[in-house]
Structure 1
Amino acid sequence: MSTHAQGNPPWIAALLAPRWLPLVARVALVSAYVIGGVAKLANFHAAVLEQEHFGLHPGWLWAALAIGVELGGSACVIFSRFVWLGAGALGALTAVAMFVANDFWNLTGDAHFFALNAFFEHLGLIAALVMATCLAGVKHSSGHAGGQ
């Protein structure tokens, strides 16, 4: 399915045509998870304290799970293998973070504003992960690698 066939103007189709663009987009999509996973791995003690700060106990277990999901799920999305699993795990992790760390309904003033924005930014990220999974499924069903 070409980008022009989807109704995009020719100049947009030309911008979307490079074969490397989907890989760059997948890397960008999961970049925060890769950085977060590497940072948690590099300073596991701080990662444990972060989990405990948000009431997730035992902190070491939640930190280890977060690292595994952030790095493993990102690898699935980047390499376009088992995208449904990687993006699903990242989406679930993001949903937990949304409700645990961005509880805008319990806040007032500036804190409410910042948490509300972060909550909906996370929701948009989950939607992008869903879209990446949909696109991987389309590629797989049309005979290209990537959906598994």
Structure 2
Amino acid sequence: MTDHSLSSNSWRPRIAGVVAAPATRTFALLALCAAYIQGPLTKLFDFQSAIGEMEHFGLHPAAFFGVAVIVFELAASAMVVSGILRWAGALALAGFTLFATLIALRFWELSPGMDRMMATNAFFEHLGLGGAFIIVAANDLTKGAGK
């Protein structure tokens, strides 16, 4: 009788082949950077809202920070997806994410209720995102971008 369970060693190479395929890796890196591609493009096409966002978070001069965030997020995402200094782009996005999370998602200052619960969830999701970027950097530094 053949064992077709996922714990069977015959499935591991198949799963590894799909997960490690270049197309899967590129898709995963694009997905990881999706918010850092979509966000600056949205800011670019509605720069007045980007300025409003910077002002909301107390970043002045708002236009300077708006441009800086757009350029930074797109450049770091390009580094991660392309593999050019992937580790540096990933660490930069990890640091940016953690810093921005501490500024934007201060759930501990909110009253109990739905808004606090949503901010708490988003806070910890962003911590996980930062952690994922650190794993990408560690992988790139220890195994190399082309491997």
Amino acid at match of 1:95: L
Task: Give unmatched runs, 5+ long, in structure 1.
Answer: 1-7
Counterpart of 2:127 in structure 1 is 123
Deviation at 1:82, TM superposition (A): 0.9
TM-score (ref. length: structure 2)? 0.84
Which of 34, 53, 78 is the matching residue for 2:37? 34
1:134 matched to 2:135? The reply is no
Q: Return the offset for 1:14.
A: 3.4
Contact 1:54 1:101 in 2 (8 A): yes
Tell me, in whole angstroms, the C-alpha distance in 1 between the residues paired with 2:40 and 2:69.
7
In structure 2, relative to structure 1, the CA distance for the partners of 1:107 and 1:59 (3 Å cut) is same
- Percent sequence identity is 38
Whether contact under 8 Å (1:103, 1:115) holds in the other structure is: yes
Determine helix, strand or coil for the equivalent of 2:32: helix
1:83 maps to what in 2? 86
| Structure-1 residue corresponding to 2:5 | none
Q: Give the total of aligned pairs.
A: 136
For structure 2, the 5+ residue unaligned runs are 1-10
User: Match of 1:145, as an amino acid?
Assistant: G
| 8 Å CA contact retained: 1:66, 1:93 | no
Measured against aligned partners, the alpha-carbon deviations of 1:63-83 in whole angstroms (never above 9, x if no partner) come to 112111110000000001111
Q: CA RMSD in A?
A: 1.8
Indicate whether 1:111 and 2:112 are aligned. Answer: no
AA of the residue aligned to 1:92 = G
Q: CA deviation at 1:96?
A: 2.2
Runs of 4+ in 1 over 6 A off after TM superposition: none
Q: Which residue of 1 aligns with 2:63?
A: 60
> Contact conserved, 1:98 with 1:119, CA < 8 A, in 2?
yes
TM-score (norm: length of structure 1): 0.84
Contact 1:69 1:93 in 2 (8 A): no
